Amino acid sequence: MTNSLDLMSSDISEINSHSIQIATAREQQHKVAEEVSRNMINIQEVINNINDNGLATAKTTGELDDSNTHLSHIVAQFKT
């Protein structure tokens, strides 16, 4: 009887140990998932900034092209 109780106690201790390991692993996975989520948000912000900068560059390029065309017309008037 004592042997059976000792065996059950040992099994319960092992189950408790596994439960603690599972809980610890779960907490670690949760922290990693939160960090991945934060990193994804940061990446999205960088992508948005790159996109905004690209749009601003395209706008400025168009304005420079317009200025170049205008200056070309002015220079052409002096040539004639």
pLDDT of residue 6: 85
Distance CA 56, CA 8 (A): 71
- For residues 19-24, give the mean pLDDT: 98
pLDDT of residue 42: 98
Q: DSSP assignment of 24-53, as one string?
A: HHHHHHHHHHHHHHHHHHHHHHHHHHHHHH
Q: Does this model's pTM top 0.75?
A: no
How does DSSP classify residue 1? Answer: -
Over residues 33-53, the pLDDT tens digits come to 999 999 999 999 999 999 999
